[in-house]
Amino acid sequence: MLNSRKVFLFTLLFFLTIFCIYYLLYRLGVMAVLPDNYNLLRNDADWYYKITEIGYYYQPEAIGNTAFFPFFPFFWKFTGLSSLGISVINLLLFCAALSLLNQVYKFTLFNLLFICTIPSFIFFIVPYSEALFFLFGSIYIYGLYRGSFLHQGIGLLGSGLTRSVVTIFIPAVFIVEICIFLFYTERKWGDFKDCLMKFLYQCSLCLLSIGIVAVYQYTAIGKWFYFIEIQQYWGRHFQWPSLPFTTFTPQSAMGMDTIGLSMGFTAIALFLFLINKVWYRKVDRKLNKNYDRALIFSLCYFIFISILDVFFTNDYQGHTKIWSINRHLLCTPYFFVILFELRSSRWPGVAGYRFFMAGVIMIFLTTLFLTQISTYPIQLIYFIFFSVYLLKYIIIQGPLEGMERILHALFISINVMFYLIYMQNYLQNGWLG
């Protein structure tokens, strides 16, 4: 196990190594472009930058920057940094957040190597809000685990000011407290009162965050809650899915978005599995109910985001577009909570464990046929590679020895290669999420 300081330093060193490899490949002519203050401003980063420069503006029946919440651009403007500078700060925030999560989940070097090489994590080193959202989410998870109302409050308020997640957080908190009351208490008045007070406390902070955003944007554009109405102009509206799923520029992002969708389905299965186990008291709960608060919340977050990204989107060439689902799910601390649970040994019995693993494999295979990924060979290869990599991460619990070390080094090398490809795609204005 690593202490939090070592987690911070190792993560920072890993990303610095990635930068050095990228620079070396650039000097050798393999990579076409280096990061600069101009090419870092891609997609959402450019919208955030415009908010820092000119603030919010209103444009009737058209896309606009009111869809983006104010905390990150406010933080960026406060620092006065360039695109490169804020990207460095985002990396440091991500390292700090991982250090905080380490106090709960106790990462090993093997854990960190798997985590850091996920290509979607380039969004932690560009001018996106992912790093801040990850930090506040980590504070919230830490607060749930430790039973700290202060950390829960900071995490919820910060998350609600950074991203439009209140409509997800409130029902997720409600489900968490219902599950805790039904499955983890004696269902007495004192238990009900405790769960109710926790729900009201967290709900009030979510509503406070959305109220602050509403007031802040109203002072700028003179319209209340316009960040809800504008979603339709960004293509976020309800429609029944049309198979097979695709994404925006599928030749670049289909692999990671298919992985994101697979993890969404996995969260649904894991949630049902967990409820079934605790309902019939089949689980020897070695971990406390605060751990399961964080787990149930993370599963609910994944499920609700998956529903939004599948049912509240638009079509691309006649197929439902699940654009950004990889970023919405994987670039969050809730992904880490679910990964830790997938690796946990709380589900006893060899037969039960094999059934569990078979279920995960079936989910990934099913997702393979629900999307257009088979049309894009490179994306298909990466999806298969990552699926095997993920299963290896879940299955192998002990220290690596012999051939396992060689295979692990091979997996890391291939993932780093895709990571570098994703980085160049982003800098050349390719859509990744």
18-42 pLDDT tens trace: 999 999 999 999 998 999 999 999 8
Round to whole Å and give the CA distance between 8 and 188. 43
Q: What is the pLDDT of residues 295-345, one digit of tens each?
A: 999 999 999 999 999 999 888 788 899 989 999 999 999 999 998 888 775
Round to whole Å and give the CA distance between 172 and 213. 21
The first and second tokens of residue 411, run together, are: 């997996």
The first and second tokens of residue 55, run together, are: 């603030």
**Does pLDDT of 1 surpass 50?**
yes
Provide the percentage of residues in the chain whose pLDDT is more than 70.
93
In 3D space, the residue among 185, 230, 296, 225 whose CA is nearest the CA of residue 63 turns out to be 230
pLDDT category at 396 given cuts 50, 70, 90 is low
How much is the pLDDT for 400? 63
H-helix segments, 28-82: 44-54, 71-79
User: With 0-12 CB in 10 A as exposed, 13-18 as middle and 19+ as buried, what is 280?
Assistant: exposed
Query: Mean pLDDT of all residues in the chain?
Result: 88
How much is the pLDDT for 286? 45
How much is the pLDDT for 285? 47
**Weakest mean pLDDT among 146-155, 288-297, 360-369:** 360-369
Round to whole Å and give the CA distance between 172 and 284. 25
How much is the pLDDT for 252? 87
Kindly state the average pLDDT of the residues 203-221: 94
Q: What is the pLDDT of residues 57-112, one digit of tens each?
A: 888 878 888 989 999 999 999 999 999 999 999 999 999 999 999 999 888 887 78
**Does pLDDT of 347 surpass 60?**
no
How much is the pLDDT for 273? 81
Spatial contact of 293 and 173, defined as CB atoms under 8 Å apart: no
Pairing mode of beta strands 315-316, 319-320: antiparallel
Q: At what angle do helices 109-116 and 4-27 cross, to 10 degrees?
A: 40
**Weakest mean pLDDT among 56-70, 360-374, 383-397:** 383-397
pLDDT category at 225 given cuts 50, 70, 90 is confident
Residue type, 50: K
**Does pLDDT of 348 surpass 60?**
no
